Amino acid sequence: MQPLAERLRPKNINEYVGQEHLVGENAILRKVIESNNLHSFILWGPPGVGKTTLAKIIANGQERPFFTLNAVTAGVKDVREIIEKAKKTQFFNSLAPILFIDEIHRFNKSQQDSLLNAIENGTFILIGATTENPSFEIITPLLSRCQIYVLKPLDKDDLLKLATKAISTDSELKKRNISIEENEALLRYSGGDARKLLNILEIICSESSNDIKITNDLVTKRLQQNISEYDKNGEKHYDIVSAFIKSIRGSDPNAAIYWLARMIEGGEDPKFIARRLVISASEDIGLANPNALLIANACFDALQKIGWPEGRIILAEATIYLAASQKSNSAYLAINNAIDIVKETGDLSVPLHLRNAPTKLMQELGYGKNYKYAHNYKNHFVKQDFLPEQIKDKTIWCPQGNPQEKKLSDWLDFLWNDNSRK
């Protein structure tokens, strides 16, 4: 049997719930649809607000051929095949087909480039769906050919309307005696996501008798038992990310690669994973292996160039490298220490000898006076104070015992051999 969310998918614009600013009476996208003057556009909004449904409704309402691609698995070859199929559907005075690309932000530059000519010459009308800001994820030439429509999370009234519709019209649910006694938990766990709402209803009804009274306690109890069934972006999502980072921090590449696989199979955004690797390289490995940050950053760049599914290999390489690296959080602790000092001491004055003196008046006031230019001295170093007078004896960065930081520490000890750094 189809999932409830699929069974309730609207077939036409009048059944569509939410997004009144786009498809309500006299709204901009509704006018475009009804005029049959369709153009390429991108639907930007959070998960579960009806992006895919809206694209299908538009295609069905205009009786256009409808092709779909998922950017997670598709490549340039798939795009070219769709272009050829689209060309074969076009006859005299026939309407251009629609190509719907879900998660279009997952396409890299070359994949997005492959769409441009076909859009320009009218081979198909592109409808893209993305949860990411198109300004950052979509190339400028493609943006210039597409209108952007922003979809909003469903509000309370939309969600309750959808829940009522499900209970009263779905072929399975209407067999039950279902009533919504309390809706706070139902709405809270749904988070403006229609798919989550319907998944929650399905979970509740699948484990209950024919007489079901939906209450806050019932919803909470059921979801605590079945959280993995409805929520990739909720608590379990953050638990798995946490396990991934802690496995890297704990130098266990086997566990780190396992949690990476869990995220990949769960549909996690690869760029989200890559961002976490960059953070881990700085926070947990840091100066013990400065190359870790270079590797993590290269991973992020390569992922955007290569795309998916090959990008999983790049993530795996970076994950194993970071997990196997020596660890240090001295930079993380140092910036936190510095911020604490700033909060405690306030806006301390910059010592006069460190100030810039671009004007004669500033020079007369002593700005820059007695500053010693380090490169004029042996080892490019000369002793002088760089902190405000009130905290000049503070130690903020504390090197840790790994070889890389010991080398840095030994060099600084050689320069500041009278222990004036302490």
Q: pLDDT tens, 177-224?
A: 888 888 888 888 787 888 888 888 888 887 666 788 888 888 887 776
Q: Distance from CA of residue 16 to its chain's centroid?
A: 27
Average pLDDT over residues 224-238: 50
Q: Is the pLDDT of residue 235 over 70?
A: no
- The answer to whether 126 touches 115, Cβ cutoff 8 Å, is yes
Helix (H) or strand (E) holding 212: strand 211-214
Residue 323 · residue 253 · CB < 8 Å: yes
Same structural domain for residues 162 and 132? no
> Is 333 a member of any domain?
no
Minimum mean pLDDT range among 158-167, 205-214, 362-371? 205-214
Residue pointed to by tokens 């020596």: 326
Least confident of 211-225, 229-243, 368-382: 229-243
The answer on 309 and 286 residing in a single domain is yes
Check whether residue 30 and residue 139 sit in a common domain.
yes
Q: Are residues 144 and 62 in the same domain?
A: yes
* Domain of 46, in residue numbers: 19-150
Statement to judge: residues 143 and 23 lie in one domain: yes
Coil, helix or strand at residue 178: strand
Residues 224 and 288 in one domain: no
**So what's the pLDDT on residue 153?**
85
Asked if 158 and 18 touch (Cβ cutoff 8 Å), the reply is yes
DSSP letter, residue 284 = I
Residue 340 inside a domain? The answer is: no
Cβ atoms 402, 326 nearer than 8 A: yes
> Of all helices (H) and strands (E), which one includes residue 227?
none
- Please determine, for residue 262, whether its predicted confidence score (pLDDT) is greater than 60: yes
pTM, two decimal places: 0.53
What pLDDT does 277 receive?
Answer: 95
Number of domains in the chain: 4
pLDDT digits (tens, 9 = 90+) for 104-113: 888 888 888 8
Residue 422 predicted with pLDDT over 60: no
Within a domain: 14: no
The residue length of the chain stands at: 422
Contacts of 11 (CB under 8 A, 6+ apart): 57, 60
Residue 122: how many other CB atoms lie within 10 Å: 11
More confident: 175 or 284: 284
- 126 and 46 co-located in one domain: yes
> Is 71 within a domain?
yes
The pLDDT value given to residue 229: 42
Query: Which amino acid would we find at residue 200?
Result: I
* Rounded distance between C-alpha atoms, residue 76 and residue 63, angstroms: 27
Q: Are residues 43 and 57 in the same domain?
A: yes
Q: CB burial class (10 A; 0-12, 13-18, 19+) of residue 171? A: exposed
CB-based contact 73:217 (threshold 8 Å): no
**Domain end call among 187, 213, 229:** 229
* Average pLDDT, rounded, for the chain: 84
Top-ranked range on mean pLDDT: pick from 101-105, 319-323, 414-418: 319-323
Query: What is the Cα–Cα distance from 164 to 245, expressed in whole angstroms?
Result: 41
- Domain closes at, from 173, 200, 229: 229
In a domain, 23, yes or no: yes
From CA 149, how far away is CA 126, in angstroms rounded? 13
- My answer on whether 103 and 54 are in the same domain is yes
- Top-confidence residue, 231 or 299: 299
310/206 same-domain check: no
Domain stops at, among 172, 200, 229: 229
| Ramachandran region, residue 125 (left: φ > 0; alpha: ψ -120 to 50; beta: rest) | beta
Residue in the structure block whose two tokens are 């994820």: 137
Q: Are residues 23 and 145 in the same domain?
A: yes
Give the residue among 205, 152, 150, 284 at the shortest CA–CA distance from 1. Answer: 205
Residue 273: pLDDT over 70: yes
Indicate if 165 and 80 belong to the same structural domain: no
Give exposure, 38-53, as e/b (b: 16+ Cβ within 10 Å): bebbbbbbebbbbbbb
* Edge-to-edge order in the sheet of strand 147-150: 66-70, 98-102, 125-130, 41-44, 147-150
Query: Cβ contacts of residue 350 below 8 Å, gap of 6+?
Result: 388
CA distance 412 to 420: 11
